[in-house]
Amino acid sequence: MNKSVIFDIDGTLLYARGSGRQAFGTAFRAAYGVEYCNVDKICFVGATDSNVVRNMAIESGITNTPALEEHFFMVLARELDRALATQKPLVYAGVPEFLAALTQCSLALGIITGNIRSTAWSKLRHGGIDRFFCFGAYGDDHHERSEIARRAIRRAPSAAPVAVMIGDTPLDIQAAKTHNLIAVAVATGWVSAADLAEAGADLVLDDFSDTARCVAGVMNLLR
Ligand SMILES: [Mg+2]
């Protein structure tokens, strides 16, 4: 193990089929005591869970507190795990094979996500890909993606510093560049390959379906 690669989750590894959005509505009602009317309009692309719930509270005219936020996260984790147990996340084509191949190249794999810790692992577990990852940083660590990335970098195995970050939005690319990491982008999410290239990704992949090509692309950047 000589280097680590960190992955975003939603839009990069899998799609939770809208389970997150529903769970946000239920958890907000439980923790903040009011209905949030714009659940269908929440933008999760490149967002962090901490930022999303803080904005929901502001829009609802509620003063947020750490206690309310923690209660929200607790209910969110329970609701989402329950939903994902019956409606499994869609793991994108080639993802398990790509993760297995990177592991065989002696790379350590980690998570950098705006999801809170419990929902991040819940999505990976229900998607059957949790076993590939050995560290991570999450949306309840901080509300800004580049600060979450800083924590993921700090948590990597000491023998395998983080060299590559893989995500599906310009915000992932920006976070990678902030920390001098190689930015790999995949267009399986909600941003086109052209826009990801424009945002400065070092490598843009349409998806992970061609394992050999994807692994070669990452290994070339590591040379
Ligand atoms: Mg994403």
pLDDT for position 38: 87
Alpha carbon of 208 to ligand 1 centroid (Å):
15
Alpha carbon of 45 to ligand 1 centroid (Å):
6
pLDDT for position 1: 59
Alpha carbon of 6 to ligand 1 centroid (Å):
12
Nearest CA to 5 out of 143, 121, 122, 172 is that of: 172
pLDDT for position 203: 98
Alpha carbon of 190 to ligand 1 centroid (Å):
8
Alpha carbon of 168 to ligand 1 centroid (Å):
5
Contacts of residue 80, Cβ cutoff 8 Å, sequence gap at least 6: 16, 19, 20, 23, 119, 122, 123
Between CA 178 and CA 168, with CA 142 as vertex, the angle to 5 degrees is 55
Q: What is the pLDDT along the chain (223 residues), one digit of tens a residue?
A: 599 999 999 999 999 998 888 899 999 999 999 999 888 888 888 789 999 999 999 999 999 999 999 999 999 999 999 999 999 999 999 999 999 999 999 999 999 999 999 999 999 999 999 999 999 999 999 989 999 999 999 999 999 999 999 999 999 999 999 999 999 999 999 999 999 999 999 999 999 999 999 999 999 999 8
Whether 123 contacts 16, CB under 8 Å: yes
Question: Strands, E, within the chain: which ranges?
Answer: 3-7, 14-15, 90-91, 107-112, 135-137, 162-167, 182-186, 203-205
pLDDT for position 46: 76
Alpha carbon of 46 to ligand 1 centroid (Å):
5
Whether 188 contacts 29, CB under 8 Å: no
Q: How far apart are CA 109 and CA 21, in angstroms?
A: 27
